[in-house]
Chain A
Amino acid sequence: MLARVSTFAIDGVDPRHVSVEVDIRAGLPSFTIVGLGDAAVRESRDRIRAAILNSGFKFPERRITANLAPAFLRKAGPGFDAALALAILAASRQVPSDALESCAVFGELSLGGELRDSPGVLAVAEGAHRAGLDSLIVPRERAREAALIDGLRVAGVASLQMAADVVTGKASAEAMPSTGPASSQMTSAPGPDLADVRGQTTALLALEIAAAGGHNLLLEGAPGTGKTMVARRLPSILPAMNRAEAIEVTRIHSVAGIHADGLITTRPFRAPHHTISSAGLVGGGVTPRPGEVTLAHHGVLFLDELSEFQRTSLEALRQPLEDGAVTIVRAQRALRFPTRFMLIAATNPCPCGYAGVEDRCSCGEMDIRRYRRRLSGPLLDRMDLLVGVQRPTEGELRAPPVTDSAAALHRVAEARSRQRRRLKGTAARCNGEMDARAVRRLVHLDPDAAEALSRAYAVGALSPRGRHRVLRVARTIADLEAHERVTQSDVLTALSLRQRAGDETALAA
């Protein structure tokens, strides 16, 4: 007797349909699983046997062959347990096999027959929906997560026995969970607010510009000046995610197993330590797992102490930054992880860290250059904004905050909607994503602004690429100021936030 049950393998962060086929026929009692499963899949034989017996079913003492199709796809993890167990029950006629046809099953089994919490349920639910299945059985803890996908009946079950009841119709699939309020409302949880910051006027301005135009930002300043404090507040002034983005983020975090419950509505903020390997940063491993860049998808990746990161790790950021996705090739297959994030980095200005603080710095010009060379060129090339962070003065510490997140968010949202109108029909969604052609076509300078820019270029303060960055940033500043054309003051502000050119001694008066 043959039975089929649908389940899903997590391939990177995407679901792949897997058909679990179980064939039971006469022969010496045996249980084999074929179809490129990993060690966890092979071990599932013992779990399934115990779970079936402990749930009050019979484990067929015959020759059992289970196949996970398609056979070319590597399958990892214990998430196939429940599907295998139900397929065995169906093949041995303990549950009706026709009821399983339009149903997907996902989850790990314990020896006692309980369905355990398994990561990646949202991805499975999306897969089930895409595959045209109409119901899904998942562990109870994850039911709310699966229910985020519309048009799918989700049964959150605690045990194999309950799953069998759902299949036979003794329990209703929809009885368990409901789409909670979290799915309809997109409010962000209160994160750290800009109002906590005293002083730092220029840094906060740069942060707002970065948020408004999706520009990557480099913060430079001595230890203890507040770089991290400023960076952590970036998510609080980014526009809220739409539902599709939120579901994508939730799916990724669910696959990575770092997500608690329900829909993630705040933009991710990832701050990996500088000892991270390049695989940890961009993703990798024998079974490729999403890296920090993917976990920061639709959110913010913060690299503190940028110069301390291994060079190879930083070089690996190039593709994710440029393509908005990273491709990892394993065993003749290429996996694509989405990586659209904003990069914000912080670094000391010089080896001793105290350049720009009274006379505490003892580094020579050469030391500073050598230090900056350690920062990867391709990475710096993607940083539109550079701002110095200085220790706030006593007066600033006592003064009221410069702005708060709500006001800044409002300005950012206005600027973003102006950009969307202008960028309609291009690949870019914000000024920071404009390519050279879009910049030429869409960034219009008034005469004074053009004059200031060409002067800066003429005195060698800008490289050709740097000029582009300044144009993009100037457009964003103009959007914040509601200027139709980019004005001279917009260009000058953008220039003051540019990166230093390689050799500024060329800047002759």
Chain B
Amino acid sequence: MNRGDDNVPAPHPPASARSCDRCLAHAWLLGELGGHLEAARGRIAQLLAIDDHELITATAHNRAPELRRALAGFDPAAARERSEAVRLESICRCDPDYPRRLRALEAPPAVLHVAGGLDRFLMLTADEPVAIVGARRASPYGIDVAHSLGRGLAGAGLAVVSGMALGIDSAAHDGAIAARGATIAVLPCGADMVYPQRKRRLHEQIQATGSLVSELPPGARAWRWTFPARNRVIAGLAAMTIVVEAGERSGALLTSGFARSLGRPIGAVPGRITSPQSHGPNALLAGGAYVVRGPQDVLDHLFGAGVRRSPAGRKPDLPPELRVLLAAIADGYGTAVALERAGLAPQQGLAALASLELAGYVRREAGGRFVVRA
């Protein structure tokens, strides 16, 4: 699904020329250091701010002399070729078009490697991108909310930024794609790599309609330190960061921490106080984060109340008996009781539930229980 961007000659000089030699060398060094940075992953944001030679001295230990020699002999032309070979474009922080929000970071990525077209990426980041992040181990409720937020915000023309991880992240991307909107995935590995492997199809979809971004050189693998590093880029790119579900130690809280230190607004989706996955967002709310009940809350906050509208999920109108049934399900009654309250016989009841499900009002969960959709 090419939109033709790849076929038309770019008006700029060849895309890879937008990264300077020094920045490319830095990106290359990050890839080379790899596991050497693991020990310092708790302070990765500070660590990435120091210059190449100090970084080698601080982390590379006995490989330091070898890396210094390699750095001195670094061949930027070869690095550009490697990028082009896997169809990545790049932009470095010396370029005036470099996403301005990222410059606010203590250590903005030296180079952004982009799959899916650099022009598209720069256009998407120029508006007000919103990050939707959360736990890998998400509940059906979280998946549902993330999907509907992604759909609503992308439908309103915003770019949805996330990390393509399992759970909430992927649901947010999926939602944006479902609305035929744009989405940006920031990866913890080279932008040409699929991580996690199971999201190959999502990777392809985003490449076709959005952007995949990484500060690591092509082919770089993910390390434990690359996840928090990636999270700082997500927070840096986004005008607002929303946490959907996150356990006490979720990386999503790291992302919201970066957003907070940048002084950017943070939103959180309230959850049940008994659910471990809602611990993170509820704690953020207690600390003053904005309550996000749907895409409109986000739009109101970013642009002022009622200025931009989320395209309403056009759910069809319901006949009265289905409205009663929906209300009973919303009250949390089990299927049998909900049907009884709506005065429906079992067979009519099953048909009514299917109608509600098809109209997008309810969702059937494992165990046969129906719940109201976000």
Contacts and interface: CB of A to CB of B under 8 A. Distances in A.
Contacts of A199: 336
B57 interface: no
Contacts of A477: 347
Nearest to A348: B367
Nearest to B315: A509
Interface string B346-371: 11111111110111110111111100
Interface string B2-45: 00000000000000000000000000000000000000000000
Nearest to B245: A364
Contacts of B151: 508
Interface in A202-257: 202, 204-205, 220-222
A143 interface: no
Interface string B149-190: 001000000000000001100010010001000000000000
Interface stretch (B137-145, B219-227, B232-240): B137-145
Interface in A110-129: none
A209 B159 CA distance: 48
A222 B367 contact: yes
Contacts of A356: 334, 365-369
A356 B337 CA distance: 14
Interface string B314-335: 1100000000000000000011
Among A220, A393, A493, max chain B CB count under 10 A is at A493
Contact of A350 (B143, B346, B360, B366): B366
B166 A366 contact: yes
Contact of B366 (A366, A368, A488): A368
B366 A220 contact: yes
A507 B361 CA distance: 11
A509 B335 CA distance: 21
A495 B357 contact: yes
Contacts of A220: 366-368
A391 B335 CA distance: 10
Contact of B336 (A202, A354, A362, A509): A202
Nearest to B137: A364
Interface stretch (B61-69, B269-277, B279-287): B269-277
A13 B373 CA distance: 54
Interface stretch (A134-142, A420-428, A496-504): A496-504
Interface in B275-319: 275-277, 313-315
B171 A505 contact: yes
Interface in B240-291: 272, 274-277
Contacts of B359: 509
B335 A349 contact: no
Contacts of B80: none
A493 B344 CA distance: 13
Among A396, A492, A506, max chain B CB count under 10 A is at A492
A492 B367 contact: no
B178 A388 contact: no
Interface string A363-374: 011111000100
B203 interface: no
A211 B248 CA distance: 49
B196 to A, nearest CB: 11
Nearest to A500: B364
B147 interface: yes
A387 interface: yes
Contacts of A391: 334
A96 to B, nearest CB: 70
A489 B364 CA distance: 18
B174 A202 contact: no
A221 B336 CA distance: 14
A298 B313 CA distance: 50
Nearest to A477: B347
Contact of A452 (B140, B358, B368): B358
Nearest to A200: B336
Interface size range of chain A in the complex: 35 or more
A463 interface: no
Among A390, A402, A505, max chain B CB count under 10 A is at A505
A506 B138 contact: no
Interface in A330-389: 349-350, 354-357, 359, 361-362, 364-368, 372, 386-389
A307 to B, nearest CB: 12
A202 B367 contact: no
A390 B333 CA distance: 11
Contacts of B277: 364
B138 A366 contact: yes
B178 A390 contact: no
Contacts of B139: 364-365
A386 to B, nearest CB: 8
A495 B277 CA distance: 31
A221 B142 CA distance: 22
A477 to B, nearest CB: 8
A62 interface: no
A455 B358 contact: yes
Contacts of B358: 452, 455-456, 459, 461, 492, 495
Given A365-B138, A365-B167, A509-B373, A201 B368 contact: no
B93 interface: no
B160 to A, nearest CB: 14
B272 A205 contact: no
Contact of B142 (A365, A368, A389, A504): A365
B113 interface: no
A490 B351 CA distance: 7
Interface in A175-210: 199, 201-202, 204-205
B360 A205 contact: no
Among A202, A221, A362, max chain B CB count under 10 A is at A202
Given A356-B366, A392-B336, A504-B363, A365 B357 contact: no
Contacts of A201: 336, 339, 346, 349
Nearest to B313: A509
A366 B136 contact: yes
A350 B360 CA distance: 24
A354 B347 CA distance: 25
Contacts of B274: 359
Contacts of A402: 346
Nearest to B138: A365
Contacts of A386: 368
Contacts of A357: 367
Given A365-B167, A390-B335, A492 B350 contact: yes
Given A201-B346, A349-B366, A455-B358, A359 B137 contact: no
Nearest to A481: B347
A355 B335 CA distance: 14
Contacts of A362: 276
A387 B367 CA distance: 8
Contacts of A452: 354-355, 358
B335 A202 contact: yes
B297 to A, nearest CB: 18
Contacts of B147: 505
Given A364-B277, A366-B137, 19 more contacts: A205-B347, A222-B367, A350-B367, A354-B367, A364-B135, A368-B140, A390-B369, A391-B334, A452-B354, A452-B355, A459-B360, A489-B348, A489-B351, A493-B351, A505-B174, A507-B360, A507-B363, A509-B360, A509-B361
9 contacts: A202-B335, A220-B366, A356-B366, A365-B140, A366-B167, A390-B368, A493-B354, A504-B363, A509-B373
Interface pairs A-B: 10 shortest CB-CB: A388-B368, A356-B367, A509-B360, A349-B366, A492-B351, A356-B369, A349-B367, A364-B137, A492-B354, A496-B354
Interface of A: 199, 201-202, 204-205, 220-222, 349-350, 354-357, 359, 361-362, 364-368, 372, 386-393, 396, 402, 452, 455-456, 459, 461, 477, 488-490, 492-493, 495-497, 500, 504-509
